[in-house]
Chains A and B, each alone.
Chain A
Amino acid sequence: MIDELPLWLSILVSVCVVLGAGLTMAGCLGLVRFPDFYRRIHAPTMGTSMGGGLILVASAIFFTVTQQRLVIHEMVIFLFVTVTTPVTLMLLARATLFRDRIEEARDTPPSDAPKD
């Protein structure tokens, strides 16, 4: 550990953390404000891509400088979240589409398959 935090480190980490948290908050507010599910499902991905990435990069930089060794295991979380979010959200969207088609809801998106 080092005794005194350098100024550039605290400013860099602060900017990354605040930007990331702001993006995540914007995504979550989008979850509240968008009118229907198919629009809503796009909003929280802001938090999982750029917001989470910035906060995890800030953590990696902070621990790399304060512990004076390379600490990049935050990137494991980032990789995992980036890989799994599209999988879960596509599964969820397909399940929703399935349910809406069964109920023949009015504003279900049309199918790509040709009608015969």
Chain B
Amino acid sequence: MSQAILDWSLLAAQLMLGVGMLATLYRMVRGPRAQDRILALDALYVVGLLLLVTLGIRTGSQIYFELAMLIGLLGFVGTVALAKFLMRGEVIE
């Protein structure tokens, strides 16, 4: 009973996160300018991180936590580098 409640709500949460990922993908493909695409990429990696955390709750393993942590670290560096590129035209001066 309680396992069923958890499974169904995790499924609902994963579907909602999937809809969110589709929305950010739409903005990344359509986005009129470069900054819209970078913003959508930033939102996309946060949603992917949360999707991995819900997957970890579903399977009951801790491995997904490390993947989520890695996405968080690398996504931050990537977005900062892209914003710097928009500002200056090069990443490392």
Number of residue pairs A-B, CB distance < 8 angstroms: 168
Chain B residue nearest in CB terms to A4: B2
Given known A14-B5, A17-B10, contact A80–B53 (CB-CB < 8 A): no
Q: Is the CB of A13 within 8 A of B17?
A: no
Query: Looking at chain B's contact residues, is the secondary structure mostly helix, strand, loop, or mixed?
Result: helix
CB of B32, distance to nearest CB on chain A (Å): 8
Which residues 37-93 in B have Cβ within 8 Å of A in the complex? Answer: 38-40, 42-43, 46-47, 49-50, 53-54, 56-57, 60, 62, 65, 68-69, 72-73, 76, 79-80, 83-84, 86-87
Chain A residue nearest in CB terms to B18: A25
Given known A7-B1, A28-B47, contact A73–B65 (CB-CB < 8 A): yes
Which residues on the A side are within 8 Å of B87 (C-beta)?
Answer: 91, 94-95, 98
User: Which residue among B10, B43, B86 has the maximum number of chain A CB atoms within 10 Å of its CB?
Assistant: B43
CB of B41, distance to nearest CB on chain A (Å): 10
Q: Is the CB of A17 within 8 A of B54?
A: yes
Which residues on the A side are within 8 Å of B86 (C-beta)?
Answer: 92, 95-96, 98-99
Task: Please give 8 more A-B residue pairs, beta carbons under 8 A apart, in addition to A28-B21, A43-B43, A81-B72.
Answer: A14-B6, A20-B13, A24-B50, A25-B17, A25-B20, A31-B40, A47-B47, A77-B65
